[in-house]
Copies of this chain bind each other. A is one copy, B any other.
Amino acid sequence: MTVWDRPEPPARPVPLDRERIVAAAIALADEGGLEAVSLRKVAARLNAGPMRLYGYISTKEELFDLMVDAVQAEILPEERPGDWREALRDLAHRTRRTVLRHEWLADLLGGRPSLGPNGLAVTEATLAALDGLADVDTALRAVEMVSAYSTGAIRREIANLRAGRATGLSERDRQRAAGPHVTRMLATGRYPALGRVVHDATHVDAEESFATGLDWVLDAVAARLHRT
C-alpha cells in the first residue's frame, strides 16, 4: 500500500472548550435570536459534530446558563462610583444596554437564578453599593426591588421593540395609532382610562421612561435608607 492508496488521516479535531462553545452560541443568538441557537448549528460553527458538545455541557439549558453568565460580564462597571444612588443607577443602565446589545438576554434574564461567577458578581456589586448604609435585610429588599423593576421594565421594552418591528411601525406610531386592533378595542368604550392615555400621553423614548421609573424606585430606597 503506497501513500497514494492510503487516505489522509482524519483531521485532528479542533480543540474545544466551554468558552469557544459559548462564544459561538452567543454569536448565533445575536444574529438570529434565541431560536436560532441549536446544538447542531453551534457545533457546525466549530467544525464539530453535535454530540461533541455533550462533553462540555449536558443539556441545552446549561448552554443558555453559560451564555447568560458570559454576557453578564458586560454589566460589571470598571470602577464603582462613590454615591450609592449613582452606583445602582449605573448598574441598571448597564444591564439595560447589555440587553439591548443581546436582545435574547431578555428572554433568559430572570428566568432562572443567575449563579455563575458573573451573575454573582453583579449581585455583589449591587449589594456592595448599599454597604454600611442599611442593615442587611433592608439592603437585600432594596436590591431585590431595584432588580425586579429593572428586569421587568427591560423585558417590556424589548417586547415592545419586537412587536413594533413585526408590524413595521415605529415606536412613536405604535403608541399613537397603536395598530388597527387596539384602535378598534378602544372604540368599544370599554377602556376609557386607557383611551385617554393613548390619546393624551406625551411620548417619551424608552431610555427616558426607564430612567424615570428607576428614579422613582431609587427614591423609595432613599426613603428607607434615611429612616435608619
Q: Is the CB of A194 within 8 A of B124?
A: yes
Q: Which of A25-33, A36-44, A132-140 interfaces with chain B?
A: A132-140
With a cutoff of 8 Å between Cβ atoms, the chain B residues found around residue A216 in the complex are: 141-142, 145, 217, 220-221, 223-224
Q: Interface readout for A127-167 with B: 1 if CB under 8 Å, 0 if not?
A: 11001000011011110110111111101100110110000
Interface residues of A in 195-215 (CB under 8 A from B): 196-197, 200-202, 209, 212-213
B113 & A163 in contact (Cβ 8 Å cutoff): yes
Asked if A112 CB lies within 8 Å of chain B CBs, one says: yes
Q: How many chain copies?
A: 2
> Known contacts A113-B160, A182-B115; is A145 also within 8 Å of B217 by CB?
yes
B201 near A137 with CB under 8 A, answer: yes
Q: How far is the CB of A63 from chain B (nearest CB, A)?
A: 16
The CA-CA distance from A123 to B181 in the complex, in Å, is 16
A49 touches B (CB below 8 Å)? no
Whether A120 and B152, one on each chain, are in contact in the complex, defined by CB atoms closer than 8 angstroms, is no
Residues of B within 8 A of A121 (CB): 190-191
CA distance A13 to B148 in the complex (A): 47
A202 to B221, CA, bound (A): 19
Known: A107-B111, A152-B148, A191-B120. A136 touches B223 (CB 8 A): no
Tell me the complex Cα distance, A131–B151, Å: 27
A83 to chain B, nearest CB (A): 17
Are B201 and A140 in contact (CB-based, < 8 A)?
Answer: yes
Q: Is A219 an interface residue (CB 8 A)?
A: yes
Whether B149 lies near A196 (C-beta < 8 A) is: no
| Complex: chain B residue closest to A159, CB-CB | B112
Is A77 interfacial (CB-CB < 8 Å)? Answer: no
Q: Taking the nearest CB of chain B, how far is it from the CB of A128, in angstroms?
A: 4
Q: How far is the CA of A221 from the CA of B197 in the complex (A)?
A: 17
| A-B pairs with beta carbons under 8 Å apart, 10 shown | A113-B156, A113-B163, A117-B185, A120-B182, A131-B193, A142-B216, A148-B149, A148-B213, A216-B223, A217-B220
* 10 A-B pairs with the lowest CB-CB distances in the bound complex, closest first: A152-B152, A148-B152, A127-B193, A148-B153, A220-B220, A145-B213, A216-B220, A124-B191, A151-B152, A128-B193
